Structure 1
Amino acid sequence: MFLSTLEIQNIIEHSFLPAVCTCSMEADQSLTIRVCDCMTGKVDLVATHVPVWTLDSPHAIASLVADMRQEIEAHKGIHPPFYR
């Protein structure tokens, strides 16, 4: 199955809703994917040099999104201690 770069970008961007996700194609034919919190605008994750040629199926895209979500959640779980 062959998906166009625009289709891949659209699928990835919509997969992170309600977060704001933007994908941009780099000169080396890789993607830079930036995910930001929709309420604060804080950048949750930036993935660079994602090889677009490896995203050749819905499963490959879903795996990438799942890995990125896991990374975001892992970093959100790190909070300073809460003092009362």
Structure 2
Amino acid sequence: MFLSTLEIQNIIEHSMLPAVCTCVMEADQSLTIRVCDCMTGKVELIATNVPIWNLNSPHDIAVLVADIQQKIEAHKNISSTLAS
């Protein structure tokens, strides 16, 4: 099953709610994904060179979204530990 680029971007962006997520297709056909906190606007993560050709199914996208969410949470945990 092949999804269009717009479908992939839409699924990723909606999966990150309530955070603000934008996906941009780059010239090399990879994605840049930017996730910001919806309340503060603070950038939580920027993922570059995400290979869109590896996102062939909803499962592939779900794995990517879970990985991004895990990285954001890990960064938050490190930041809160350093602030203590």
When normalised by structure 1's length, the TM-score is 0.95
Rounded Cα–Cα distance in structure 2 between residues aligned with 1:27 and 1:12: 19
Say if 2:70 is the partner of 1:70.
yes
- The aligned counterpart of 1:59 is 59
Runs ≥4 residues deviating over 3 A: none
- CA shift digits 1:27-69 (9 cap, x unpaired): 0000000000000100000000001010000000000000000
- The aligned counterpart of 2:20 is 20
| Structure with max Cα Rg | 1
RMSD across aligned positions (CA): 0.7
Rounded Cα–Cα distance in structure 1 between residues aligned with 2:34 and 2:53: 19
Q: In structure 2, the residue corresponding to 1:38 is in which secondary structure?
A: coil
When normalised by structure 2's length, the TM-score is 0.95
Q: In structure 2, the residue corresponding to 1:41 is in which secondary structure?
A: coil
Rounded Cα–Cα distance in structure 2 between residues aligned with 1:11 and 1:71: 19
Gaps of 5+ in 1: none
- The aligned counterpart of 2:50 is 50
